[in-house]
A and B are shown apart, each in its own frame.
Chain A
Amino acid sequence: MFCTHCGSPIHEGQTFCTNCGNRVAQAAAAPNPPAQHLPPVPPLPPVPSAAPLPPVPPAAPARMTRCDWCGATVDTSQSSCPRCGATLHHAPVAASASGWTQLPPRKDMAKLQFGKSSCQIEGLYVPVADMNLAAGDSVYFAHHVLLWKDPAVNITTMSLKGAWKRMFAGLPLIMTQAEGPGHIAFSKDDPGELIPVPLQPGQAIDVREHMLLAATTNVGYDWFQTGIWFQTRNGDDTETHYPVGNFMDRFASPQTPGLLLLHAGGNVLVRTLQPGQTILVKPTALVFKDPTVSMQLHFEMPQTRGMFWGSSWGARYMWLRLAGPGRVAVQSVFERINEGAMTGSSSATAAQW
């Protein structure tokens, strides 16, 4: 076996070429799932554009390709996917040896289409979503992510159910809504990645709270209790902590395709879990998951033989076990929580080592 890049000999089982560092093509690969394996996507309606396209002359049939990231069928003449902004025609996004995939590359100023409107994603450190809303199209957002707007764009509030619960949970109480025509732009205040998540009719996604940048108004917004918590201190001083948030947002697009824009800290890594396949992640790193993915706390207890605190809660490592089937995403910048001094938790499994 030889490296396809530099021609050096490669031994069986090697993942990278020792000469040039090129990844070895996994021809006779183990039961590894393929690099890109999004949930099956129903065939898409053609991407609507502002002006109806003239009928394609039969002499030059449009060549179509499939976007690796969101599954949209795209004209090969385009350089970016109009549904999610991913750069097309790049080398296939390689999964890490462990199965995590980075977000696809995105060209600065890549443009997404939704309804009759469009959205440009600008900048690479703290990306801005610059929306050009057509008349009648609208988006909603938490008011603190607004960066700038045309004076003509009207902002109104969107009523949310369960306001009391939301207020106590520290969730944004008011969602603001902006209606076209006009430009409005959003950004968060920390370096990270903007994740466009096109939602197919009938598709839903569970998102960590405060990750939303903006969504089209045809995307339904609901939330549920995560049931993931741990406690510190005892008696009257007991404090309950929610490492995944007390509530998680659920975005669903029941009838029409919708667009959801999220912002996560640092870099974002995604993988798809097979039915029953599990992975342990730090609870505060979870960004989103398919609703089919289940969550549970897991503790690991290092053996500190002979030490009097050997089995105390303070010496446990806290994990979130995610079980497939479905897609999960984590962020590389996340809150480090103090796992010591824990006195109890929601249902959890434990292992000693």
Chain B
Amino acid sequence: MAPESSFERIQCQWCQSMNEKSALACRACGAPLDIRNLISESGWREAPRIRDMTQIQFSSSTCQVEGEVVPVAEINLGPGDSVFFEHHVMLWKEERVAMSVLQLSGGFKRAFAGMPFIISVATGPGRIAFSRDATGELIVLPLHPGMELDVREHAFLLSSHQINYSFVRIKGLTNILFGGQGMYMDRFVTAGSPGVLILHGYGNVFERRLGPGESIMLEPGAFLYKDSTVTMDVEFQRLGSGFFGGTNMSLARVTGPGRVGIQSMYVHHHTE
């Protein structure tokens, strides 16, 4: 039930933004407001299916989400607004949209780690559109000052310029070798003003909020994003079959407090 007191406004259940009562979709994250949440009995919330052609607002720009199987994020950049992204997710752009390169530190390390050496920046005014290469969902995460989010490498589609991009090295050799996500995770930190981060998850995406000390075991390839307060460590499960020596299965233990997001079409890596 919508709270009557808050000037007839309704709160989005996905990103907590307030919306006008007549709104059908959240203006900050695009989640439908007239459809009930899908939460499994085990506590996972299915990421909202954004209706085709839904518009999202951020600073003086808008983003329209088009298509449903492999959705496209089409950005109408306001003058002076910019977004950054990995160059391979670009779908089309107007010629007037200016392109530049985000200055990054540690480029040498990044090149070795197979991460994109160059993060591109598109500056308005003008339109530019992005999509990924597989069936999945767009996850719109409005970030407020003070939020820190860790994202699987190559999983972010674009981010607005208010957000600082960095990367964290995944600690521990086992985590790098068997964690299934390489050496680095992208880290997005907001400075003074709010921004928006759009991810693409393969298949369906689910989010769960872990309490302090609460943990869950994940297929490492299923990991999509987490609050930086959530820790992640790889553990092995020995699957013995006696005679054949067996095999090891690696699972990531993810421990709260904070949010964790997973994708159902995981990036599978081989067991040992």
**A residues adjacent to B (C-beta < 8 A):** 108-109, 111, 118, 120, 122-128, 130, 132, 143-144, 146-151, 155, 157, 159, 163, 167, 173-174, 176, 183, 185, 187-191
Contact = CB atoms under 8 A, between A and B. Distances in A.
A117 to B, nearest CB: 11
Given A122-B44, A132-B42, A155-B237, A191 B215 contact: no
21 contacts: A109-B38, A125-B204, A125-B264, A132-B41, A143-B239, A146-B251, A147-B222, A147-B266, A148-B217, A148-B262, A149-B251, A151-B215, A157-B246, A174-B239, A183-B42, A185-B42, A187-B264, A187-B266, A189-B221, A191-B135, A191-B265
B253 interface: yes
A254 to B, nearest CB: 25
Given A128-B204, A174-B247, A123 B264 contact: yes
A240 B40 CA distance: 46
B46 A147 contact: no
Contacts of B222: 147-148
B203 A176 contact: no
A285 to B, nearest CB: 20
A120 B41 contact: yes
Contacts of A174: 239, 241, 246-247
A122 B38 contact: yes
Contacts of A150: 216-217
Sort chain B's interface into a size bin: 35 or more
Interface in B164-188: none
A128 B265 CA distance: 9
Contacts of B135: 125-126, 191
Contact of B204 (A122, A163, A189): A122
Contacts of A185: 42
A125 B69 CA distance: 8
A185 B40 CA distance: 11
A143 B270 CA distance: 11
A127 B246 contact: no
A194 B135 CA distance: 16
B42 A130 contact: yes
Given A125-B264, A149-B217, A151-B217, 14 more contacts: A109-B39, A124-B204, A126-B204, A143-B247, A143-B271, A144-B268, A146-B219, A147-B219, A148-B222, A155-B237, A176-B239, A189-B203, A189-B265, A191-B265
Interface in B1-58: 38-42, 44, 46
B156 interface: no
B202 interface: yes
B195 interface: no
B2 to A, nearest CB: 23
A176 B271 CA distance: 14
